[in-house]
Amino acid sequence: MSKLILSLSELKKEHEDDLKKLSNEYTVIHSLEEASSVKDIEIVYGWNKEEGPKLLENPEMNVKWIQLTSAGVDYMDLALLNKHNITLTNASGIHSYAISESIFGMLLSHTRGIGYSIKKQMKNEWDEVDEAFEMNQRTMAIVGAGEIGRQTGKLAKAFGMKTIGVNRSGKPVDFMDEQFTQAQLAEALADADVVVNILPLTDETRNLFDLDLFKKMKQSAIFINVGRGSTVVTDDLLEALDEGIIAFAALDVVHQEPLPTDHPIYQRDDVLLTPHISGTLEDYSESAYRLFEENFKDYAESKTVSKNVVDYQSGY
């Protein structure tokens, strides 16, 4: 009997044909109902909150590998997957160009007065900004210096910026002038004009950016969050802005999504809010599939994958 790939994310017909060419041992299905036995489901592509957990709870479950189409894995039961020896891979890296471009879009919207001008245009007002400033010779701290961080650093260097990378290990990353470990975060933030948070959500990073950490930043600092909303204590961020501890925030992610319509963030001139769109791609399904295809080639040959394997201990 054919082994099954349960696709819980969009998989185009041509992609299914490609998988069949790579290995005719596997057949793609799109729901649990299509499987004569859940024992035959060996690979899961993508995830949803209905069929995914239902599959894992089945005592006959025989899944070996799950390929997510998201970079974040905080919605997955990592302990359960680890217990069942299921390999989990994510889509980290496919967003690197989109998110890094969004970071600079948000940054320039503020520093060059573009956001201010859009607001005035909607009111039929011609009103020049009081000040605008350049990124050349400024310092950017990139917290979470992985693939997205590396691409962000590359763009920052094109603007003539100094770059400070922060990651868990302190291992050098391309396009970073200095590198710090996460334990050295406060030190890394002290000289940063722009602080970019790209951290995943783990037990270690939850509520990491609190009032004490904002106090380690320059009063003129711009804080940008494209990582996970719950890595930031939102009330502390707003207090830091109110008290002049930092100058401006650009948020693509927040602690609660969608953000309630009565939340004060919407009315603030010192916060730019975008609705979790920095990772939006021109053809998301194509980009995610190419990563899956690369891993599937290895899996079909050796039953192992090597790209974007999630470490259950670190949580990403």
How far is CA 40 from each of CA 50, 62, 175, 192, 302, rounded to the nearest angstrom? 19, 7, 46, 53, 18
* Catalytic annotation present for 286: no
Candidates 250, 186, 252; CA nearest to 218 is 186
Catalytic residue among 95, 138, 150, 228: 228
Query: Given 33, 125, 131, 257, which residue is catalytic?
Result: 257
221: its two tokens: 């600092």
| Cα atoms in the Cβ-side hemisphere of radius 13 Å centred on 15 | 20
Which residue is listed with tokens 């603030």? 268
Instruction: Indicate if 110 belongs to the active site.
Output: no
The C-alpha atoms of residue 14 and residue 112 are separated, in whole angstroms, by 44
Q: Residue 78 carries which side chain, given as an amino acid letter? A: L
Point out the catalytic residue in the list 276, 286, 293, 294: 276
Beta strands in 90-172 (DSSP E): 139-143, 162-167
HEC-encoded secondary structure of 269-309: CCEEECCCCCCCCCCHHHHHHHHHHHHHHHHHHHCCCCCCE
95 is catalytic: no
Residues involved in catalysis: 228, 257, 276
